[in-house]
């Protein structure tokens, strides 16, 4: 994975009319001050961090500085973790609080964004290195049912990532959100584990509307739309909210590659094992159904379907690939 330092600009209150960004409520004071902080980051799944950050700021008792810190290696994550001391769980803590806040106001867009945040990849120190799993139970069962994607070149990643995507689709369907959003949680094609730069197949261009993994056509989906449909066939929504977003409003799903792996890991075993301290990403994968890092098929260039540009309200948008440890 690539180690790069970028200036993240936090601009509170800039809004557009895209499915990602929200216009501030009437009468709400919006600060125009610009605050800059420097952290190593890239911009693969920017829209996920934008939405998660918006929801987190509604109520942030642990004072997590920004969602991007949950995706960083421990050394960098510590700088923005607030009162969270278990850095392997900072990402989950962020997703959990954002989901809680969104659920309280019935915001499907926010709930979906938090679920996606829980599922996207967390940085590690090199190509093919799996990230450490959170060993604490989540507050929300929807968040607790998930864990993060792993580097596509790491052991068993194909089976793990497919399992994460399919479970994410079920959780999205369960709250009445678009299950195809789960396909957007995928990562890059497997990189070369001998790559000493750590870059792999990642990207590092800011794309506040979506993320560079989408705009550059680098996303490798872990499942097909038919597989998503089959996975959620028996799911009955148990929540009624408003303001959802749809994958097809953001991208052309047909333009992305689909991983060729067919095996699916036992995600419940992985998640529950991590919570009891009995599993790591690679260890749990080895104990369940695994597959080698899959090759990509149906390659194509992503087609953006956005309706504007700009930074979200204090978004601090970042990505899953390649943060310094």
Q: What is the pLDDT along the chain (325 residues), one digit of tens a residue?
A: 433 333 233 333 333 345 665 544 333 332 322 233 334 345 789 999 999 999 999 999 999 999 999 999 899 999 999 999 999 999 999 999 999 999 999 999 999 999 999 999 998 888 889 999 999 999 999 999 999 999 999 999 999 999 999 999 999 999 999 999 999 999 999 988 888 777 788 887 777 789 999 999 999 999 999 999 999 999 999 999 999 999 999 999 999 999 999 999 999 999 988 877 655 555 444 444 444 444 444 444 433 433 333 333 333 333 344 433 4
What value, to the nearest 5°, has the Cα angle with vertex 85 and ends 84 and 88?
Answer: 90
Assigned domain for 108 exists: yes
Beta-carbon contacts of 290 under 8 Å, excluding residues fewer than 6 positions away, are: 155, 156, 158, 159, 160, 263, 265
Assigned domain for 322 exists: no
Rounded CA-CA distance 136/86 in Å is 9
Crossing angle (nearest 10°) for helices 46-56 and 90-104: 60
Assigned domain for 321 exists: no
The strand ranges marked E within the chain are 5-11, 34-40, 220-221, 257-259, 296-297
CA proximity to 218, closest of 319, 299, 309: 299
Assigned domain for 12 exists: no
Assigned domain for 142 exists: yes
Beta-carbon contacts of 171 under 8 Å, excluding residues fewer than 6 positions away, are: 115, 142, 145, 146
Assigned domain for 164 exists: yes
Number of domains in the chain: 1
pTM over 0.95: no
- Helix or strand or coil: residue 164? helix
List b or e across 278-303, with b for residues whose CB sees 16 or more CB atoms inside 10 angstroms.
Answer: ebbbbbbbebbbbbebbebeeeeebe
Assigned domain for 3 exists: no
The boundaries of the domain holding residue 163 are: 39-297
CA proximity to 105, closest of 180, 18, 216, 22: 22
């Amino acid at each position: 994975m690539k180690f790069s330092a970028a200036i993240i600009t936090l601009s509170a209150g800039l809004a557009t009319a895209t499915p990602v960004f929200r216009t501030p409520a009437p009468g709400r004071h919006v600060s125009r001050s610009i605050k800059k902080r420097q952290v190593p980051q890239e911009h693969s799944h920017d829209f996920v961090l934008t939405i998660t950050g918006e929801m987190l700021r509604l109520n942030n008792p642990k004072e997590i500085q920004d969602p991007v810190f949950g995706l960083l290696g421990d050394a960098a994550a510590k700088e923005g973790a607030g009162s969270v001391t278990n850095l392997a769980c900072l990402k989950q803590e962020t997703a959990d609080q954002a989901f809680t806040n969104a659920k309280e106001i019935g915001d499907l867009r926010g709930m979906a964004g938090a679920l996606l945040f829980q599922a996207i990849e967390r940085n590690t120190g090199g190509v093919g290195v799996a990230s450490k799993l959170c060993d604490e139970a989540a507050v929300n069962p929807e968040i607790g049912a998930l864990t993060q994607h792993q580097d596509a070149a790491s052991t068993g990643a194909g089976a793990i990532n497919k399992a994460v995507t399919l479970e994410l689709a079920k959780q999205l369907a369960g709250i009445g959100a678009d299950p195809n959003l789960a396909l957007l949680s995928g990562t890059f094609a497997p990189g070369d584990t001998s790559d000493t730069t750590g870059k792999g197949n990642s990207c590092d261009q800011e794309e506040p509307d979506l993320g560079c993994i989408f705009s550059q056509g680098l996303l490798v989906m872990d499942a097909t739309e038919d597989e998503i449909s089959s996975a959620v066939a028996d799911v009955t929504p148990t929540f009624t909210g408003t303001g959802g977003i749809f994958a097809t409003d953001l991208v052309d799903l047909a333009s992305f590659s689909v991983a060729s792996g067919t095996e699916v890991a036992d995600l419940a075993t992985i998640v529950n094992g991590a919570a009891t301290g009995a599993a790591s990403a690679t260890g749990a994968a080895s104990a369940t159904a695994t597959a080698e890092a899959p090759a990509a098929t149906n390659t194509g260039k992503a087609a953006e379907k956005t309706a504007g540009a700009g930074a979200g309200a204090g978004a601090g948008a970042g990505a899953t690939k390649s943060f310094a440890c």
